[in-house]
Structures are given as structure tokens and as C-alpha cells.
Structure 1
């Protein structure tokens, strides 16, 4: 595979691709047939940079990892209180604390699961799980992250998955080994394909866009403004 040639051709066809995507909004599978390079992690990041002039993985991970410890503290504080949100967060941190390994990837995974819960958003259709032997049910799925596991574990947070697949419009687009990378590729594809954020997870994705990446960050929802203020006090 000639990656340099692919990159050159994707750059050459960028204007045509944007015109096609923004003006006619064809189905994602048609776009992927036209430009299969968008199934490659490196080309998703390259496309994002063409659109925003921003290096997606570098910018995201610098900001995310800088706030990771504080986010863990904020979410644990909420988990110690009462109510459905607190109970859901407490369950996530119970699973986290039971892990033998607590490295950067463990913390990233925990925070990605905890963030939408803290923001009181519905993750039921977004985080999906299946085993290697089972066929995932992807009918009617607009956007989701599918965790493939090796057994029939029931844990809502998986720290050692087989793969994490990005699902868009019922189809698996790309599979990666870690949740954070899959989440980031999904975010990049949403920009590249001019898609709406997943239904019910607007605050989670706007947190990524406006707080972590600093894109179009002039107006934040009250929940995000409160969270941002808390984070900025401890940078």
C-alpha cells in the first residue's frame, strides 16, 4: 500500500469531496466506496487537519491528558453523592478500581465512559458490546462504538477488549485496539463526513470540540461552562 500516494490523492480530491459531502449528503457507505481511505486512521486525522488546520490526535491527547486527573476527581466527587447519576458513576469507578493495571489508558477509558454519565446523557445506544463469536446487532445504528470482547462478560466498561469498532449508519468503518483512539477517530469522521453528533450525546462531543480542541468555543451549555470553569481552576 502506497501511503504517500493515497495521501496525495486525498489531498488532490479534497475540494471535490467537501463539495459532494456538504451539498448532497450522500449515505456514508457511498462515500466510503468513493473514498475508502477514510477507513484509515491516519487519513481520518489528515482529513480533519484539512478541514480545521488542527492535528487532531496531538491536540486532543495533550488537552485530555492534562485534565484527566481533575476529571477523575470531579467524577468521583459526584459518585459519592446520591441519585441515579451518582450511582451510575459509582459503578463505573467500582469497575475501574478493581483493575490490576491503572495506566493512562485505563484512566482514559474510565473518563470517556464517565463523562456522558456526569453530563446526564444517554449512552445506552452508543456504547455497545458483543463477543467475538456473536454477530453484533447494528440495524438502525446511526453512530456507536462497538466493544468486541473475548467472553460473555457483563461489565459496562471493558479495559482489555479485543477491538473497539466505530459504527456509522449500521456499518463498521474501522476497528482499533483502544477506546480513546476509537472515540477520536469517530470524532474525526463526524467532521470529515459532515455528520451530526450522536443523538443525546451533544454535550459529550461538544466537550471534545469546544473545551479540549478549542473549536468554535464561544458558546457553551451551562453544564459544559460549569465543568470548564472547574477544570480551568486546576490547570
Structure 2
């Protein structure tokens, strides 16, 4: 398990290394962090983060209750951070918002939609959403799940 997590983190880092190495923009660093959080917390992001060609997105999102879709026109590596993609929000298998400027804004809007529509967090990313809500946004109860508390402790040290 630990080997797989490390491999996924390395794939994310190396897919963005050329971009982040030259002149790291804050949005690009935030994107890398948001894509790496599920890996660090042991969540399965494959059912949440979807990637497809612009012409093929209808077939890619039918089974997604809550998610983020990266639409791109060229063939990017499968683990690419999709800096040049159109980003959309998926709720109950439907694209509810598209052409979001970046992943960080899409995640913020998604949190707002989840609260406004009284939806549950995706089960495959329960730790990630819990971490974002309780640690990054400082909202909710103080008691954290062990995995979330462990990452929070490592960040505060």
C-alpha cells in the first residue's frame, strides 16, 4: 500500500515537474496539492477525478455521483495535472458547471454546491473532503479521524 501511494505521488510530481520547475504559479502548486491529498490520505480518487477528450465527456460521467471532470483537446499523459484543461463539476452524472478556471476554484464551488444541495461527500474521498473542511477551512468538529489527524500533525510540525 505504501509503495503504491509513493508511486502515485511521484507520478503526480513528475508529470508537473517541467511546469513547476520553471516558474511555479500558486494555482499550479495548489492543484498539485489537491491532487496529492487523496493519495496521502489513502482515498481512491479514480471515481472522483475524471479525464476525457472534449467530444467524449458524456460517456465518462454517467456513473459519477460527485466529481471533477478535466476535458482536454490533446492527448495528455494519464496522470497529468491538466493545467490546460477545461474543468467541470459533475453532480449525479450531469455536468452542472463547466469552464472553471482551475481546480482550486472548482473545488471551492463544489463545496458550496454540496452544502447548498445537502449532498454527502463522495465515499471514495471521505478523508480528503474531511481534511479540507476541518483542517484547511477550520469548519466543523475538532475530533478528526486518525488518518486526517496524522496528516494535520505532520503539516503543523
The alignment's TM-score, normalised by the length of structure 2, stands at: 0.90
Q: Deviations over 1:52-104 (max 9, x none)?
A: xxxxxxxxxxxxxxxxxxxxxxxxxxxxxx61110110110111212254210
Aligned residues: 151
Task: Give the gaps of 5 or more residues in structure 1.
Answer: 1-81
Task: Give the gaps of 5 or more residues in structure 2.
Answer: none
Is the 1:211–1:217 Cα contact (8 Å) retained in structure 2? no
1:116-195, aligned counterparts within 5 Å? 116-137=38-59, 138-156=61-79, 157-161=81-85, 163-175=86-98, 176-195=100-119
How far apart in 2 are the matches of 1:170 and 1:224? Answer: 28
Deviation of 1:150 (Å): 1.8
Deviation of 1:200 (Å): 1.3
- With 109-118 and 125-134 compared, the bigger mean Cα shift is at 125-134
Residue aligned with 1:124, SS: helix
How far apart in 2 are the matches of 1:112 and 1:185? Answer: 14
1:1-235, aligned counterparts within 5 Å? 83-99=3-19, 100-137=22-59, 138-156=61-79, 157-161=81-85, 163-175=86-98, 176-233=100-157
Q: Which has the higher strand share?
A: 2
How far apart in 2 are the matches of 1:101 and 1:134? Answer: 32
Is the 1:146–1:166 Cα contact (8 Å) retained in structure 2? yes
Deviation of 1:133 (Å): 2.6
- With 107-116 and 95-104 compared, the bigger mean Cα shift is at 95-104
Deviation of 1:118 (Å): 0.8
Q: Structure 2 vs 1, CA of residues 177 and 101 (structure 1 numbering), >3 Å: closer, same or farther?
A: same
Is the 2:65–2:92 Cα contact (8 Å) retained in structure 1? yes
Supply the RMSD in Å over aligned alpha carbons. Answer: 1.4
Residue aligned with 1:196, SS: coil
How far apart in 2 are the matches of 1:171 and 1:160? Answer: 22
How far apart in 2 are the matches of 1:114 and 1:220? Answer: 19
Is the 1:130–1:136 Cα contact (8 Å) retained in structure 2? no
Query: Which protein shows a greater Rg?
Result: 1
Residue aligned with 1:97, SS: helix
The alignment's TM-score, normalised by the length of structure 1, stands at: 0.61
